[in-house]
Structure 1
Amino acid sequence: MTRTWRIRTVTDAARARIAVARLAAAHGVTTVERARLTAELSGRLRQCLTKGGVWVLTLDGPSAGDGTLHAAVVPAPDAGAAGRTPWTMAVPCPEPGRVSDVGTVTEDPAVLSEALLGADEDTAAVLDKLAEQEELVAFHREELHQTNQGVLALHAELDAAGRAQREAFAAERRARNEAENARRRLMFLADASAVLNASLNHDEIVRRLPELLVPRYARHVDVWLFDQEDDRHPPTSHPRAATRAARTGRPQYAAAHPGGLPGVDDQPASALDPDRPLLCIPLLTHREPLGVLTLSPPGERWDPDDAVMLLELARRAGTAIDNARRFEHNRDIAETLQRALLTELPTTPGLSLAARYLPATHGLNIGGDWYDAFRQRDGGLITVIGDVTGHGLHAAVMMSQLRTALRAYAVDGDSPGRLLTRLHEYLRHLQPDLFATAVIARFHPDGHTLTWAAAGHPPPVLRLPDGRVRTLDAKPGAMLGIPLRQDIADHTERLAPGSTLALYTDGLVERRAQGIDPGIERLATALGSFGSAELDADLEGSADRLLPPLLSDSERDDDVCLLLCHLRG
């Protein structure tokens, strides 16, 4: 279906527009598409009328195969307007071919008015659609705004969460670093304490302090001990902060600026070294201050936690020095007592004596091992070797009491067995918590008879003139001082010239991993390796040569005592 209209005047344009609108409505074109078609057609026709001339409006379709209505405005062929651009437009028709004619549009004002009202209705419908779309757009705009606000809030929350996470990570790193530094300080403090307490020599402790602290915690270390300023040590100048620390017993920090160290008093910079900060820590004990430890920092200043660790180290160093000094004092007393107790051996015609005493290498150089030799009224010679249980000053005092008691009992001329029995009773009644072992050997005045008795002690070893060695292991008595009544028996041996008797304590033959029997065998073998002439000529030298193979270890856990009695040939 094709419709054509010639347009020359406004009336022609209005009639053509009305006819197109009616045809579009008749073919079921939607109100919006119809309004769009008529509006654009009106605008095109207005342009054509403005340009003048004759124009042709053509409306094609729709057909069954093409559900589209095509409109075109072109110049009339006879108008002489060739070359002008035609106007075309297509709108969909839901019901193509439904009508064939809409009637003739007259110039009646009523018809034109009706058409105008119909156009307004279409416009109103379009405006209603537009209002709906605007409401929908406003609704979606609000939704979009709310969504944007939620996204912004989410971004803010994520940003806050990110900051909190970063702060948590930073706090964790700081905590980890602080924990590692604390562990490092504790490890250093434990290792340094072990080094300081490993020695009982206070000079060694003072020497090790700078080695421990430089250069990790201090650039320079000075240890001022108060009692070292004597004739051997010329007086030296000390910083005023060190003197104040010695007088007040409180740590002092001397520098141009306050140190802010916990538990430390701030002082002006030292006049002796104004450019270097100084930390002066008193070396305190529970009795009195021993001195002052003065440190200079490895850098500009100390970390407060490092300073706290240095204060604790100084406290431990003061305790270690005090313990070492007390030990050295007790050791000097013990050595003096030991020298007083180990008497000189008597000189006897036809009989040579040689004794050796070696203290244990640990603890005080004194113990309960002892030896003695003295004459009786009838001319016989008593030799004794014993061992008081325990070690140290108490054992030495108890040993001295036993030695004195034995000499007192021996005045009566009792035999070795009787003497040991009386010592046993002495310990039972007067020292119930003290125990001892001993061997007593008596050389008779005839020079060829030996009477001996043992109480819980390693057996004597006898070397015969021909080099054979015997262990005198006849039934001994029990340990002295045990809560048991006993009568210790005597044993007698005939001696030939050239015989050698060895009395000793268990420190010479006993080893923890081997026991005592292998040690006694080693002693017998070593004693048998000497010749009679060698023993006659130099018993002292023989005693010196006898000890090294039996004491291969430089460290001894127990005292060693040896008494050699040689009957000269």
Structure 2
Amino acid sequence: MSLERPTEDGDELLARLGSLTAQARELAEMQRSRVELALALQRGMLPRDLPHASRFHVAVRYVPACHGLNVGGDWYDAFAMPDGRVGLSIGDVQGHNIEAAAFMGQVRVGLRALASVTGDPGELLSRTNDLLLTLGTDLFATCTFMRLDPSTGVLESARAGHIPHIWATADGKSGIAEDEGGPPLGIQEGMQYPVTRYRLTTGGVFVLLTDGVVEGPSLHVDEGLDQVVRLAGVAAVAGMDADALAAGVMRIAERVGHEDDAAVLVVGHDRIDVRP
């Protein structure tokens, strides 16, 4: 009986294990690099500066998913439009990979570019939808676009399959928007998106968000939206500023057990100081 064979078998097994370990490490490094690239794309596509308008303030919060090796395609944006009004958008790309992050950048850039041609939110979403279809991708995106007129406080809003926004006024009223909306962007050509008009009154707030804020394994979307409604109502009555409200809304996302990106955009109207 040979005493050499077990040693040879053991050496072969160790060599195979070493090879598998090296392959697994190489795969993990490649996946990690993809996640880091996607995160860099996300950060690079999000706006560095927010527009300023007298008595109106915009605040944002964003937390990428980074669940395992997933990276989503949520975004927010706020920018000055050629006519002096302010464009506000928030959205969510289908998928959780580098392609979703790249597509998010295309949607956001498309919205900005087309906003220089038309400021009407409904027409803007319609043109963006048709533009995305020419890219030949299977991805699609949900989105809300608003146009704020700082001189009047009027907000014009159009929604493409996106989760509804939340509103609250200084007199204690709050709720979930009930605008009609249209289908997500990038699915079917020639879609129309109805425009709903609101007025942001003194002390009032509007909260735009993605579903990662209010929906997850630990929280149903309806309950999550109700929590944001209550928080926005309290914030408006208490005179909480937009930045503090955005931070408070994002804390809800920490309780949903979310595996998705979470983005919040708040626009608020300053209170008028009453002096003797």
Normalised TM-score (structure 2): 0.89
What's 2:274 paired with?
none
Cα distance in 2 for partners of 1:336, 1:513 equals 29
What's 1:46 paired with?
none
Q: Is the contact between residue 363 and residue 392 of structure 1 (CA under 8 Å) also seen in structure 2?
A: no
Cα distance in 2 for partners of 1:547, 1:408 equals 29
What's 1:287 paired with?
none
Cα distance in 2 for partners of 1:409, 1:561 equals 23
Task: Select the structure with the greater relative contact order (CA < 8 A; seq sep ≥ 6).
Answer: 2
> Displacement, 1:456?
0.3
Cα distance in 2 for partners of 1:411, 1:464 equals 31
Report which of the two has the higher share of helix: 1
Q: Is the contact between residue 535 and residue 566 of structure 1 (CA under 8 Å) also seen in structure 2?
A: no
Cα distance in 1 for partners of 2:112, 2:25 equals 42
2:20 equivalent to 1:316: yes
The residue type paired with residue 267 of structure 2 is: C
> Displacement, 1:529?
2.7
> Displacement, 1:532?
4.5
3-state DSSP of counterpart to 1:340:
helix
2:79 equivalent to 1:377: no
Cα distance in 2 for partners of 1:349, 1:404 equals 26
The residue type paired with residue 247 of structure 2 is: D
What's 1:551 paired with?
254
Cα distance in 1 for partners of 2:182, 2:191 equals 8
Cα distance in 2 for partners of 1:447, 1:335 equals 38
The residue type paired with residue 544 of structure 1 is: A
What's 1:563 paired with?
265
What's 1:352 paired with?
57
Q: Is the contact between residue 534 and residue 542 of structure 1 (CA under 8 Å) also seen in structure 2?
A: no
Cα distance in 1 for partners of 2:189, 2:83 equals 32
Q: Which runs of 5+ in 2 are unaligned?
A: 272-276
Q: Is the contact between residue 338 and residue 366 of structure 1 (CA under 8 Å) also seen in structure 2?
A: no
Cα distance in 2 for partners of 1:465, 1:413 equals 32
What's 1:416 paired with?
121
The residue type paired with residue 563 of structure 1 is: L
Cα distance in 1 for partners of 2:46, 2:69 equals 16
Cα distance in 1 for partners of 2:16, 2:152 equals 68
The residue type paired with residue 269 of structure 2 is: L
Superposed CA RMSD: 2.2
What's 2:134 paired with?
429
Q: Is the contact between residue 366 and residue 392 of structure 1 (CA under 8 Å) also seen in structure 2?
A: yes
3-state DSSP of counterpart to 1:430:
coil
> Displacement, 1:312?
2.2
Q: Which runs of 5+ in 1 are unaligned?
A: 1-258, 262-301
2:164 equivalent to 1:459: yes
> Displacement, 1:381?
0.3
3-state DSSP of counterpart to 2:240:
helix
% same residue: 34
What is the CA deviation profile of residues 293-351 of structure 1, one whole-angstrom value per residue up to 9, with x for unaligned ones? xxxxxxxxx84443333222211210111112212322332222222111122222211
Cα distance in 1 for partners of 2:246, 2:218 equals 26
Q: Is the contact between residue 511 and residue 519 of structure 1 (CA under 8 Å) also seen in structure 2?
A: no
Q: Is the contact between residue 369 and residue 560 of structure 1 (CA under 8 Å) also seen in structure 2?
A: yes
What is the CA deviation profile of residues 540-562 of structure 1, one whole-angstrom value per residue up to 9, with x for unaligned ones? 23322332234215x53111111
> Displacement, 1:355?
0.8
2:44 equivalent to 1:337: no
> Displacement, 1:501?
0.6
2:123 equivalent to 1:402: no
Question: Which residue of 522, 527, 541 corresponds with 2:232?
Answer: 527
Q: Is the contact between residue 51 and residue 86 of structure 2 (CA under 8 Å) also seen in structure 1?
A: no
Cα distance in 2 for partners of 1:510, 1:556 equals 7
What's 1:327 paired with?
31
Q: Is the contact between residue 42 and residue 101 of structure 2 (CA under 8 Å) also seen in structure 1?
A: yes
> Displacement, 1:432?
4.8
Cα distance in 1 for partners of 2:246, 2:101 equals 24
Q: Is the contact between residue 437 and residue 457 of structure 1 (CA under 8 Å) also seen in structure 2?
A: yes
1:388–1:549 CA distance, 2 compared to 1 (3 A): closer
1:361–1:446 CA distance, 2 compared to 1 (3 A): same
What's 1:472 paired with?
177
1:362–1:514 CA distance, 2 compared to 1 (3 A): closer
The residue type paired with residue 338 of structure 1 is: Q
What is the CA deviation profile of residues 49-105 of structure 1, one whole-angstrom value per residue up to 9, with x for unaligned ones? xxxxxxxxxxxxxxxxxxxxxxxxxxxxxxxxxxxxxxxxxxxxxxxxxxxxxxxxx
1:339–1:365 CA distance, 2 compared to 1 (3 A): farther
What is the CA deviation profile of residues 340-397 of structure 1, one whole-angstrom value per residue up to 9, with x for unaligned ones? 1111222222111111111113244742100101111111001000111111211111
What's 1:306 paired with?
10
Normalised TM-score (structure 1): 0.45
Cα distance in 2 for partners of 1:525, 1:431 equals 42
Question: Which residue of 367, 377, 387 corresponds with 2:72?
Answer: 367
3-state DSSP of counterpart to 2:244:
helix
Cα distance in 2 for partners of 1:366, 1:471 equals 28
1:333–1:432 CA distance, 2 compared to 1 (3 A): closer
1:477–1:466 CA distance, 2 compared to 1 (3 A): same
The residue type paired with residue 375 of structure 1 is: A
2:95 equivalent to 1:393: no
Q: Is the contact between residue 467 and residue 529 of structure 1 (CA under 8 Å) also seen in structure 2?
A: yes
1:357–1:514 CA distance, 2 compared to 1 (3 A): closer
The residue type paired with residue 439 of structure 1 is: T
1:528–1:380 CA distance, 2 compared to 1 (3 A): same
The residue type paired with residue 331 of structure 1 is: V
What's 1:245 paired with?
none
The residue correspondences of 1:80-99 to structure 2 (distance < 5 A) are none
2:215 equivalent to 1:510: yes
